[in-house]
């Protein structure tokens, strides 16, 4: 987690009041009895909760002033719905609401929209992995995850990729002291679609001509997204053997395309 100081426009973050638990309880009693001023004091006395959440977000990527305002909305919702009878600290209840409001704002304002069902699947995959790791001490294979969640293996990487932040095409990806190479420089020119189609046809023919095991390894590595170790375990061979099969397969495909 980042430890940088959060700077918010027109807010002196170093002088924000922090309420003690006893003060908090008294203010909640007053607010729930109809004292609106007590609510204002509760909000002002817990703004540092919002700041603590903002430290998790990249200040170079997001406008922290906007996220702060959204986070305060989450804090207000928490204060409005907080129940003293549960004997919980406000922070325990409020932080998830603050995080949720901020993430919802980011999701709704991003230029790339990802289906909610795909993201839900990604979270299910992550949870299943974490549960298996706690129970068995090792992460499950893609095959085990697919079986447990009743999905196809290729959907696993597809779903997990949906959680990654989009990268700018002007992101520098290499610099050896000379000219910087940007992501844009590595994007293929799609103008000549006929050439691309010809290449795909040649590639398909080449893959169909190589050995079955080589073809299967290529499919599992580059379409399903398995690691060499996962393939080795499913085939009952060593990772080094899978590596050799993969290299031979790629070499044979290149030879057949020429």
Higher pLDDT, 249 or 222: 249
- The pLDDT of residue 178 is 53
In whole angstroms, give the CA distance from residue 123 to residue 145.
12
The DSSP call for residue 206 is H
Q: Please choose, from the candidates 106, 96, 57, 105, the residue with its C-alpha nearest in 3D space to the C-alpha of residue 75.
A: 96
Tell whether the model's pLDDT for residue 127 goes beyond 80.
yes
Return the bridge partners of 60, or none: none
Tokens of 146: 């697919």
The pLDDT > 70 percentage for the chain reads 77
- What pLDDT does 86 receive? 76
Confidence of residue 116 (pLDDT cuts 50, 70, 90): confident
CATH level 3 topology of 13-109: 1.20.120
- CATH number belonging to the domain at 188-257, selected among 3.40.50.150, 1.10.10.10, 2.30.29.30, 1.20.58.1690: 1.10.10.10
Q: Average pLDDT in the 206-235 region?
A: 87
Question: What pLDDT, on the 0 to 100 scale, is given for residue 4?
Answer: 44
DSSP conformation class of 210: S
Question: Is the model's pLDDT at 229 over the cut of 70?
Answer: yes
CATH class of domain segment(s) 114-187:
mainly alpha
* CA proximity to 47, closest of 19, 26, 21, 24: 19
Distance CA 189, CA 46 (A): 52
Residue 173 phi/psi, 5-degree rounding, is: -115, -10
Answer yes or no: is pLDDT of 232 > 80.
yes
Contacts of 235 (CB under 8 A, 6+ apart): 242
Length of the chain: 258
More confident call, 128 vs 163: 128
Give 105's contacts (C-beta < 8 A, 6+ positions apart): 66, 67, 70
pLDDT, residue 6, reads 58
Residues of the chain with CATH 1.20.120.1810: 13-109
What was the pLDDT predicted at 8?
A: 64
Tokens of 59: 């200040």
pLDDT of residue 119: 80
pTM as predicted? 0.43
Residues forming CATH 1.10.10.10 domain(s) in the chain: 114-187, 188-257
Gap between the Cα atoms of 99 and 51, Å rounded: 11
Q: Where are the beta strands (DSSP E) in the chain?
A: 172-174, 181-182
Residue 41's H or E segment, with its range, is helix 36-44
User: Over 50: is that where the pLDDT of 32 sits?
Assistant: yes
Cβ-based neighbour number of residue 220 at 10 Å: 23
Is the pLDDT reported for residue 192 higher than 60?
no
Distance from C-alpha of 71 to C-alpha of 94, rounded to nearest angstrom: 10
pLDDT mean across residues, the chain: 81
């Amino acid at each position: 987690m980042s430890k940088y100081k959060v700077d918010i426009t027109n807010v002196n973050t170093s002088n924000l009041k922090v309420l003690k638990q006893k003060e908090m309880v008294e203010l909640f009693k007053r607010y729930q009895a109809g004292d609106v001023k007590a609510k204002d004091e509760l909000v002002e006395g817990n703004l540092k909760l919002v700041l603590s959440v903002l430290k998790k977000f990249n200040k170079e990527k997001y406008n922290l002033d906007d996220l702060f305002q959204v986070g305060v909305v989450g804090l207000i919702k928490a204060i409005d719905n907080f129940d003293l009878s549960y004997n919980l600290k406000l922070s325990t209840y409020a932080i998830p609401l603050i995080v949720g409001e901020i993430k919802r704002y980011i999701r709704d304002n991003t230029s790339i929209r990802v289906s909610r069902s795909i993201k839900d699947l990604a979270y299910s995959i992550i949870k299943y992995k974490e549960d298996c790791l706690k129970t068995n001490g090792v992460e499950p294979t893609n095959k085990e995850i697919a079986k447990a969640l009743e999905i196809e293996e290729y959907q696993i990487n597809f779903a997990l990729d949906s959680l990654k932040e989009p990268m700018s095409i002007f992101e520098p990806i290499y610099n050896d002291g000379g000219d910087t190479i940007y992501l844009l420089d590595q994007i293929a020119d799609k103008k000549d679609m006929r050439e691309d189609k010809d290449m795909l046809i040649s590639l398909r023919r080449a893959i169909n001509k190589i050995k079955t095991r080589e073809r299967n390894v290529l499919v599992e590595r580059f379409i399903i997204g398995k690691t060499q170790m996962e393939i080795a375990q499913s085939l009952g061979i060593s990772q080094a053997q899978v590596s050799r099969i993969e290299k031979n397969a790629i070499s044979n495909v290149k030879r057949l395309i020429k």
